[in-house]
Amino acid sequence: MGLPVLIAAELRNLLEADQLDGLDVTWIGADEPTPAGGDWVAIVPLLTRWIGGTELKHLPQLRIIANVAVGYNNVDLVAAQMRNVIVTNTPDVLTDATADLTWALILACARRIPEGINLVRSGKWIGWHPEQLLGMELRGKTLGLFGAGRIGEAVGQRAVPFGLRILYASRSPKLRFEEETGAVRAGTGRLLQESDILSLHVPVTPETRGMINSDTLAVMKPGAILVNTARGELVREDAVALALETNRLGAAGFDVYADEPTVHPRLLVAPRTVLLPHIGSATRDTRRRMAARAIANVQYVLHGEPPVTPVFR
């Protein structure tokens, strides 16, 4: 009999049998509540499952929460620390996939790709016109990165061949990133004022929650593009919808939302949006690597070793 663990059922096809050696797995579907009262020693949840004080109380033998995401705002870290439960995430393995998708949104917004697709599909396209669907030329424009960690930097690296000037805001300077890309560190105010494209790459914290709101949108360049592949809670979606409706904001490309899977109804009908269903890390290779990383963390901890990617030490 292996060690009893709870694993999100949606990971079943992404895992190989040998990765689960020594584990007695109970699979839990996303729509099932977190079980209570068992002797499970590990849980491998998706980011859609909240694990707070109540869930931890109901799982008294738990030693590790191995979240299958780099973000961990679905876990009450204080409650976990109080119960000596280790929390891990899956950084690095999803950096390239998420940076690529961020670029898909930047390009889709700048070059009005959804409008073009809709025009062709509508049958109303009457041919080439010199002023049809004119977008934003990237070369010489400024890309603002709010957050220059793993994903923010990877987005910045990809900006160099497009000829963008890069500004970034983060708590600490990133000297190697600056040397490699010519990026310049800026305060939030300058980032908002000077960015033609503002892309968000910070976690949700008390300081960053709601940071894109009517006040900060008013400071942004008229016609700027806002891209969010980080977390929906960073943005006041009603304020973004208003900025789009009034043509203050040029376009918005979002992969994440404050109340997933619900999208703010005004954002759904606002003009010049590119709205994706949280697929930043959704490549087959990356999802396999995320699942493997989460299970590796479980195996290390259950064998008395430190986890590969702890959220706190």
Would you please indicate which residues are annotated as catalytic (active-site) residues?
Answer: 231, 260, 278
Least distance CB 261 / ligand NAP (angstroms): 13
**Burial classification of residue 100, based on how many CB atoms lie within 10 Å of its CB (0-12 exposed, 13-18 middle, 19 or more buried):** middle
Residue 235 binding ligand NAP, by CB under 6 A: no
256 binds ligand NAP (CB under 6 A): yes
Could you say whether residue 232 binds ligand NAP (CB under 6 A)?
Answer: no
Amino acid at 166: I
Pairing of strands 225-228, 142-146: unpaired
Q: Rounded to an integer, what is the distance from CA 39 to the centroid of its chain?
A: 32
State yes or no: residue 181 binds ligand NAP (CB under 6 A): no
Maximal CA-CA distance, the chain: 70
If one asks whether residue 208 binds ligand NAP (CB under 6 A), the answer comes out as yes
Does 310 participate in binding ligand NAP (rule CB under 6 A)? Answer: no
The encoded tokens of residue 205 equal 């914290």
DSSP annotation of 273 reads: E
The conformational region for residue 3 under phi > 0 = left, psi -120 to 50 = alpha, else beta, is beta
- Of the CA atoms within 13 Å of residue 290, those in its CB half-sphere come to 30
For residue 246, give both structure tokens.
């009034």
Read out DSSP for 22-63? Answer: TEEEEEE-TTSPPP-SS---EEE--TTS-B-HHHHHH-TT--
User: Which is closer to ligand NAP, CB of 174 or CB of 221?
Assistant: 174
Q: Which is nearer to ligand NAP, 40 or 168 (CB)?
A: 168
Task: Based on the shown chain and the rule CB under 6 A, indicate whether residue 191 belongs to the binding site for ligand NAP.
Answer: no
Does 171 participate in binding ligand NAP (rule CB under 6 A)?
Answer: yes
Residue 91 interacts with ligand NAP (CB under 6 A)?
yes
Give the count of residues interacting with ligand NAP (CB under 6 A): 29
Minimum gap (Å) between residue 27 Cβ and ligand NAP: 23
Binding residue (CB under 6 A) for ligand NAP from 165, 278, 287, 289: 278
Q: Would you say 185 and 208 are in contact if contact means Cβ atoms under 8 Å apart?
A: no
Interaction between residue 176 and ligand NAP (CB under 6 A): no
Establish if 26 lies at the interface with ligand NAP (CB under 6 A): no
Q: Token pair for residue 126? A: 């009457």
120: number of Cβ within 10 Å = 10
Residues of this chain, 61-90, that bind ligand NAP according to CB under 6 A: 70-71
Q: Which residues bind ligand NAP (CB under 6 A)?
A: 70-71, 91, 94, 98, 147-152, 169-172, 201-203, 205, 207-208, 229-231, 255-256, 278, 280-281
